[in-house]
Amino acid sequence: MLGAFKAPGHLVDGFPVPVCHPKRVGRQTIFRGEADGGFCASQEEDDLGFHGLLLTPVDGITAGVALTAARIDERDALFDLPLERIHGAWLGDKGFIRPVLTEDLFAMSIDLHPPLRKNRADSRSRPKPLVDFIISVHRRIETVIGQGAERFSAERTGARKLWQWVTRIDRKVAAHPLCVLINQSLGRPLLDFEGLVRA
């Protein structure tokens, strides 16, 4: 109904779902054998838990979520998203730079556009204003991830078994586009959830 799958451009980014603080790893028993260690670039620390990958169109509607163990590279987790339903341009951050990945996705009608690393030349010869635009637009998905963390506690497991946690995540994933749909029906900004609570 919201057209999240038909949009010409999409944003993709990852987020951590830690099970416990790194200092308590030795005493941790929940999700033992399922969660594992990884590195959270946004918080610049090691963590034990899972990793989420979010896909949205440019307007920020949740279109897909993939969940993996924390050690799984988010570039590999891309293939757990609904690739067969969503084509066109995908904007990612520097964590998605991998020439082979770009080629594989292009063969699936997905044109992945990560920004540049400072010490690398752009093999695609994109003009700097385009790269700056990609970075600017990509910030929208960071807003959506922030909403998931603050409004829906998506970065907390809140469960003791894997199936319970996956069920909680499914509810949160469904709640976000529902709030967007309510805002749309009221003629409000799609991602203004705080104002929606007041309304």
Question: Is 4 contained in some domain?
Answer: no
DSSP 35: B
Residue appearing with tokens 């988010």: 74
pLDDT given at position 122: 64
Q: Which pLDDT tens digit goes with each residue over 155-178? A: 777 777 878 878 888 888 888 889
Question: Is 196 contained in some domain?
Answer: no
Number of domains in the chain: 1
| Burial of 139 per CB tally in 10 Å (0-12, 13-18, 19+) | exposed
The CATH number assigned to the domain holding 152 equals 3.30.420.10
pLDDT band at 107 (very low <50, low <70, confident <90, very high): very high
Q: What percent of the chain has pLDDT over 70?
A: 80
pLDDT given at position 28: 61
In the predicted model, is pLDDT for residue 38 greater than 80?
no
Output 71-76 pairs: Cβ under 8 A, ≥24 positions apart: 71/36, 71/37, 71/38, 72/38, 74/14, 75/101
Q: Which pLDDT tens digit goes with each residue over 122-147? A: 666 777 787 788 888 888 898 898 88
Question: Is 181 contained in some domain?
Answer: yes
- What's the predicted TM-score (pTM) here? 0.81
CA-nearest of 13, 1, 56 to 191 is 56
Output 83-87 pairs: Cβ under 8 A, ≥24 positions apart: 83/108, 83/110, 84/108, 85/5, 86/5, 86/10, 86/55, 86/110
Residue appearing with tokens 């757990």: 80
In the predicted model, is pLDDT for residue 104 greater than 90?
yes
Task: Kindly list the distances between the CA atom of residue 177 and the CA atoms of 6, 38, 52, in Å, as whole numbers in the listed order.
Answer: 15, 29, 17
Q: Which pLDDT tens digit goes with each residue over 114-124? A: 877 665 666 66
Question: Is 3 contained in some domain?
Answer: no
The residues, any chain, with a CB within 8 Å of residue 190's CB and separated by 6 or more, are: 59, 60, 61, 180, 183, 184
pLDDT given at position 40: 59
Question: Is 194 contained in some domain?
Answer: no
Tell me the range of 26-30, 37-41, 124-128, 150-154 where mean pLDDT is highest.
Answer: 150-154
pLDDT given at position 53: 92
Question: Is 193 contained in some domain?
Answer: no
- Give the chain's mean pLDDT: 82
Question: Is 132 contained in some domain?
Answer: yes
In this structure, the chain runs to a length of 199
Question: Is 192 contained in some domain?
Answer: no
Coil, strand, or helix at residue 125?
coil
pLDDT given at position 120: 64
In the predicted model, is pLDDT for residue 39 greater than 70?
no
Domain that includes residue 17, residue range:
9-187
